[in-house]
Amino acid sequence: MMKWLRKQIKEERRTLVRARRRFLHNPSEESLHHVRTSSRRLRSLLEDSGDIVSEPALLRAVKRTAKSTDPARDAAVIRALLERVVAPAERTHAAELLRDLRLQEELAMRRACKKLARVSYD
């Protein structure tokens, strides 16, 4: 059972490392999504098995990954939602908020790149 668990952690870690590499090479909403998904899966595995497998440094790195990428994801999702739901008569009011969200998205993406480049999953 421990062998199975270790193998799972190793595989999930490898998936995250690959996703991070792709994101740093080509930052985009899609590559960011892959980083976030793979980090959540690894986090879930580490939390589920924490009673018998202790990987505190890896768990911290995975949590840091989520924290570093939350703002970019949030800005992108909220901006896309606003573009879709804005009432035609209120487009002028939405324009400033949309500009802010696009700017936040760009900045957050750059910050995510910088922060993720420094995270170690070893």
Partner 1 sequence: MKPQVVELRGVTTARELARRVIGTRAQEVGRLAAAFEGREKAQLHDFRIACKRLRYALERFSALEPSLEAASQQFALLQDALGEAHDRDVLLTILPPAMGETQRRLQLEREVCVIAAAAMWEALKEPAQQLLSHHF
> Which residues sit at the interface with partner 1, rule CB under 8 A?
1, 4-5, 8, 40-41, 44-45, 47-52, 74, 77-78, 81-82, 85-87, 89-90, 93-94, 96-97
* Longest Cα–Cα distance in the chain: 61
Nearer to partner 1, 14 or 50 (CB): 50
Backbone φ and ψ of 33, nearest 5°: -60, -40
Query: In the bound complex, what is the minimum distance in angstroms from residue 50's beta carbon to partner 1?
Result: 7
Q: What is the Cα–Cα distance from 113 to 91, expressed in whole angstroms?
A: 32
Query: In the bound complex, what is the minimum distance in angstroms from residue 52's beta carbon to partner 1?
Result: 5
Nearer to partner 1, 77 or 117 (CB): 77
Specify the DSSP class assigned to residue 106. Answer: H
Query: In the bound complex, what is the minimum distance in angstroms from residue 66's beta carbon to partner 1?
Result: 12
* Closest to 23 (Cα-Cα) out of 37, 33, 14, 11: 33
Nearer to partner 1, 17 or 94 (CB): 94
Q: What is the Cα–Cα distance from 16 to 33, expressed in whole angstroms?
A: 11
Nearer to partner 1, 1 or 26 (CB): 1
Whether residue 9 contacts residue 45, with contact meaning beta carbons closer than 8 Å, is answered with yes
